[in-house]
Amino acid sequence: MVSALRDYDLRRAVYNPLLQLGLIVNTVPDNPLKDNEPINTLLLLPVKAFEALTTYPVRLSIVNALINGPLTVTDVSSRLKLAKGIVHRHLKVLEKLGWVTVANDEVLRILNLPREANRVYYMLSSLIYFGYSVVVNNYEVQLKIDGKYAAFIDSRKGILIVKTPTATYGCVKSCGNSGECFNWALRVSRKFKVQIEAPSSSVDETLVQLFHGILIKGFTSPKAKLPLIKIIDLKIDNMYRQWLGNPIRVNNVNHRNGGQ
């Protein structure tokens, strides 16, 4: 179930800034992150993103179509026998939620895919996803990572396994590889010194425990870089500048004098 996850991948936990809130966690300072990494290792999404995914079966079908590599709207439409308009609309929603992203030129070059100007490839944003919520108490704001909301790629089965408090999507409990997956999880847990319950009630639960434990170590390890939190809100920007002024001023004198 975890053939797509290399040991090196699990030494990174990356969340690229999306529309509103971004966390960047590098658990191994000795291995700096690169902007052209084909896919993130671990991504934190708002809990509502999980609900928005699982509420629509067609969205689950679309992300499963992207499991093994980038596809265009036409590719997904052909595989799922759906109208292009429907596929495009749901892909744009999934992109905004953070589940998928548009493959950049570097990814297309690595995968040797055509790079025509009008051809857009969509791909999954990460190998592993966890849900988070924000708890506000007066001036105290807590970012709560909820292990009950999790998802990870099973590239061998071609599915994204998604767990929520009410259901599990895509997991085949009797897939025949449970012993192999348990053993892999135990080996990795010992390597990263993460405690998991084994055997758990199911393989997917054991893997979620493993990934969650690695994520927590990424936040608490003395060697880890502190997470960066970015909030981008144009309304706040405008109100700030109207009242307190623009902190970045353009010097027009040099332009008028030809730079002299």
104 domain-assigned: yes
pLDDT level of residue 252 (50, 70, 90 thresholds): low
pLDDT level of residue 82 (50, 70, 90 thresholds): very high
Q: Which tens digit of pLDDT belongs to each residue from 115-144?
A: 777 789 999 999 899 999 988 888 888 888
* Environment class of 157 (CB within 10 Å of its CB; exposed 0-12, middle 13-18, buried 19+): middle
1 domain-assigned: no
4 domain-assigned: no
Highest mean pLDDT among 34-38, 205-209, 253-257: 205-209
Percent of the chain residues topping a pLDDT of 70 = 73
In terms of pLDDT, which residue wins out, 11 or 196? 196
In terms of pLDDT, which residue wins out, 199 or 238? 238
What whole-number distance in Å separates Cα of residue 195 and Cα of residue 240? 46
What is the structure's pLDDT at 80? 95
Q: Which of left, alpha, beta for 259 (phi over 0: left; psi -120 to 50: alpha)?
A: left
Q: How many CB atoms lie within 10 A of CB 192?
A: 17
CATH number at residue 177: 1.10.10.10
96 domain-assigned: yes
Percent of the chain residues topping a pLDDT of 90 = 28
What is the structure's pLDDT at 15? 29
Is it the case that residue 225 has pLDDT exceeding 90? Answer: no
Query: Which residues span the domain enclosing 156?
Result: 9-255
178 domain-assigned: yes
Q: Which tens digit of pLDDT belongs to each residue from 9-31?
A: 333 332 232 222 333 333 333 33
CA-CA distances (angstroms) from residue 231 to 12, 39, 76, 189, 192? 22, 23, 33, 33, 31
Mean pLDDT is lowest, of 23-37, 197-211, 218-232, for 23-37
HSE-up of 144 (CA within 13 Å, CB side)?
A: 11
189 domain-assigned: yes
pLDDT level of residue 86 (50, 70, 90 thresholds): very high
Is it the case that residue 205 has pLDDT exceeding 90? Answer: no
Segment 234-245 mean pLDDT: 78
Mean pLDDT is lowest, of 100-109, 112-121, 148-157, 230-239, for 230-239
pLDDT level of residue 230 (50, 70, 90 thresholds): low
Q: Are 49 and 63 in contact (CB under 8 A)?
A: no
CA-CA distances (angstroms) from residue 229 to 21, 23, 44? 7, 5, 12
Is it the case that residue 65 has pLDDT exceeding 70? Answer: yes
Segment 59-86 mean pLDDT: 94
98 domain-assigned: yes
Q: How many domains does the chain have?
A: 1
Per DSSP, helices labelled H in the chain are 47-54, 57-65, 73-80, 84-97, 105-110, 178-192, 203-220, 234-244, 252-256
Say which residues have a Cβ less than 8 Å from residue 148's Cβ, sequence separation at least 6: 131, 163, 164, 165
144 domain-assigned: yes
Query: Which residues share a beta bridge with 195?
Result: none
Instruction: Strand 126-137: give its sheet, edge to edge.
Output: 40-46, 126-137, 140-154, 159-163, 168-169
Q: What is the mean pLDDT of the chain?
A: 76
HSE-up of 51 (CA within 13 Å, CB side)?
A: 6
Mean pLDDT is lowest, of 19-33, 185-199, 208-222, for 19-33
What is the structure's pLDDT at 251? 60
Is it the case that residue 239 has pLDDT exceeding 50? Answer: yes
